[in-house]
Amino acid sequence: MEFTKDKGTKAKWLIILTITSLTLSTCDQQQKERTKRRVADLKDYVQRHRDSIDIYANRKWDSLDHEFVLKENELVEDTVRMDDDIRQSYYNTLNDWQSLKAEYARKSVEQQKINQMDDLRKSLTMDGVRTDYTDLTAANILQEYEYFVNTVRTNKDTYTKEQWTVINVNYKALNGRNREVQKDIPSGDASKIVKLQLEYNGIKALNRPFADNP
């Protein structure tokens, strides 16, 4: 009887151990699958930002990095339980994020310059006038020349060589529009425009060669 009882107890323990082992194995497998999904999600997060870097360059890096760090923190404690392939994918993703940070910094500088040049072009036009001057008419083109030259005269000592390039492109566009509407410009306005053109060329000749490099 004792033998039978002892044998039964052992059988129960074997069943318990088997169930426990299967439970632990299932939990471990679930943990691995969850970690795998999180690594894939982190990788997808980096790729989505890399594919849309021009859009995200307008956002603050801290806000992007905060979202990334939250996702990364979910995985930090799981690194020891990762399979080799998953662990390597995880570390590659971290490296990709650092590469994206460098690309973001470069794009941000480019975007900042673009914004500055857009602001410069706007500063050379009267309110309500397009920066390509295509909406100017014979009736208001003299006012735009006056505005343009006055703006350049006021800020001539602060423009960089790069800014002078943008200014001159705008000036050529303004002259192009002037030729298109010239036949309808009153003779008095046309004479004033010529004087303003001469003044602009004189200002540019004196200031552009000595402008600081951007």
Verify that 104 and 128 share a domain, yes or no.
no
Verify that 77 and 23 share a domain, yes or no.
yes
* 35 Cβ contact partners less than 8 Å away, ≥ 6 residues apart: 75, 78, 81, 82, 86
In this structure, are residues 167 and 152 in contact, taking their beta carbons and an 8 Å threshold? yes
In this structure, are residues 53 and 100 in contact, taking their beta carbons and an 8 Å threshold? yes
Instruction: Using alpha carbons only, give the angle 187, 193, 199 rounded to the nearest 5 degrees.
Output: 145
Verify that 141 and 76 share a domain, yes or no.
no
Our count of domains for the chain comes to 2
Domain span at 11: 2-109
Verify that 57 and 34 share a domain, yes or no.
yes
Amino acid, single-letter form, for residue 18: T
User: Which tens digits make up the pLDDT trace of 101-151?
Assistant: 898 888 888 888 989 999 999 999 999 999 999 999 999 999 999 999 999
Please indicate, yes or no, if residue 117 is contained in any of the structural domains: no
In this structure, are residues 133 and 144 in contact, taking their beta carbons and an 8 Å threshold? yes
Verify that 50 and 140 share a domain, yes or no.
no
Beta strands in the chain (DSSP E): none
Please indicate, yes or no, if residue 187 is contained in any of the structural domains: yes
Distances (CA, A) of 27 to 17, 75, 87: 15, 17, 19
Residue with the bigger pLDDT between 157 and 26: it is 157
Please indicate, yes or no, if residue 27 is contained in any of the structural domains: yes
The residue out of 79, 109, 139 marking a domain boundary is 109
The residue out of 49, 84, 109 marking a domain boundary is 109
Does 57 score more than 50 pLDDT? yes
Helix (H, G, I), strand (E, B) or coil at 158: coil
Q: Which of 20, 65, 22 lies closest to 45 in space, CA to CA?
A: 65
Confidence of residue 1 (pLDDT cuts 50, 70, 90): very low
Confidence of residue 6 (pLDDT cuts 50, 70, 90): low
Verify that 134 and 62 share a domain, yes or no.
no
Q: Which of 54, 165, 161, 163 lies closest to 111 in space, CA to CA?
A: 54
Does 186 score more than 70 pLDDT? yes
Distances (CA, A) of 92 to 86, 97, 198: 10, 9, 60
Q: How many helices (H) and strands (E) does the chain have?
A: 7, 0
Verify that 81 and 132 share a domain, yes or no.
no
Q: What span, in angstroms and rounded, lies between the C-alpha atoms of 100 and 111?
A: 16
Q: What pLDDT score does 121 carry?
A: 97
Q: What pLDDT score does 64 carry?
A: 80
Return the minimum-mean-pLDDT range out of 15-19, 131-135, 139-143, 195-199. Answer: 15-19
Please indicate, yes or no, if residue 50 is contained in any of the structural domains: yes
User: Which tens digits make up the pLDDT trace of 150-183?
Assistant: 999 999 999 999 999 999 999 999 999 999 999 9
Q: Which of 62, 149, 48 lies closest to 101 in space, CA to CA?
A: 62
Confidence of residue 19 (pLDDT cuts 50, 70, 90): low
The residue out of 75, 109, 143 marking a domain boundary is 109
Verify that 32 and 63 share a domain, yes or no.
yes
Verify that 68 and 20 share a domain, yes or no.
yes
The structure's pTM equals: 0.65
Verify that 72 and 151 share a domain, yes or no.
no
In this structure, are residues 4 and 12 in contact, taking their beta carbons and an 8 Å threshold? no
Q: What span, in angstroms and rounded, lies between the C-alpha atoms of 103 and 127?
A: 36
Q: What span, in angstroms and rounded, lies between the C-alpha atoms of 179 and 194?
A: 12
Verify that 68 and 128 share a domain, yes or no.
no
